[in-house]
């Protein structure tokens, strides 16, 4: 059994850097279609420009972990720096504690969501979420939305505009009823 486990983080972990093969992140790493996601991911970047592009497995691993753990971007990046299993899931081959150099800034996740757009996440959903639901790692019934994907013209209940529209609608309904039933209303 120990011969099959990945040899990672030898300096950090005892017993030759053996990781528990039954860990959920190791199991999920085997199930995730990384090649398909990477191919779709690289279509949104110009590889020949010489810019440094964060690996697809790192970005998508953090986004998957965010939804499984129900964390914010900041929390999932913090969890990434704390957990060797989660770092393995995200494609790291050595432990990065984040003390000297932070591997990724939380704001990069929202920037990548904006850049990749709706079509990428539709493919992401079909490829990954179905696997997660199939193996019972996510509910599949609960929807978590991300503010960077939702349009910004949403009206919230505390908006003055929404309350004014409600008052206008009530007044209009009142006057319609008053005209229809003029003899029933007394002032």
The residues facing 7 across adjacent strands are 18
| pLDDT tens string 77-96 | 888 888 888 888 888 877 77
For 43-71, write each residue's pLDDT tens digit: 877 766 666 677 888 888 898 888 888 88
CA distance 16 to 146: 40
pLDDT bin (cut points 50, 70, 90) of residue 2 is very low
Residues forming a β-bridge with 18: 7
Mean pLDDT for all residues in the chain: 75
Structural domain boundaries in the chain = 14-148, 155-187
CA distance 59 to 145: 17
Work out the burial of residue 71: count CB atoms within 10 Å of its CB; fewer than 13 is exposed, 13-18 middle, 19 or more buried: middle
Task: Report pLDDT digits (tens) over 138-154.
Answer: 666 666 555 555 556 66
* Verdict on whether the full-model pTM lies above 0.85: no
Q: Does the pLDDT of residue 15 top 70, yes or no? A: no
């Amino acid at each position: 059994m120990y011969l099959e486990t990945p040899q990672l983080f030898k300096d950090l972990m005892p017993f030759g850097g053996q990781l528990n093969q039954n860990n959920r992140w190791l199991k999920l790493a085997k199930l995730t279609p990384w090649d398909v996601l990477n191919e779709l991911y690289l279509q949104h970047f110009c590889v020949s420009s010489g810019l440094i592009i964060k690996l697809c497995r790192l970005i998508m691993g953090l986004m998957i972990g965010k939804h499984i753990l129900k964390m914010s971007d900041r929390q999932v990046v913090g969890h990434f720096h704390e957990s060797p299993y989660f770092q393995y899931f995200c494609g790291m081959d050595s432990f990065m504690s984040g003390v000297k150099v932070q591997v990724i800034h939380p704001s990069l996740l929202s920037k990548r969501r904006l850049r990749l757009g709706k079509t990428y996440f539709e493919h992401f959903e079909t490829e990954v979420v179905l696997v997660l639901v199939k193996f019972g790692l996510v509910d599949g019934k609960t929807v978590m939305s991300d503010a960077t994907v939702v349009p910004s013209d949403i009206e919230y209940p505390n908006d003055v505009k929404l309350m004014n529209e409600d008052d206008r609608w009530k007044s209009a309904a009142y006057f319609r009823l008053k005209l229809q039933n003029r003899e029933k209303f007394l002032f």
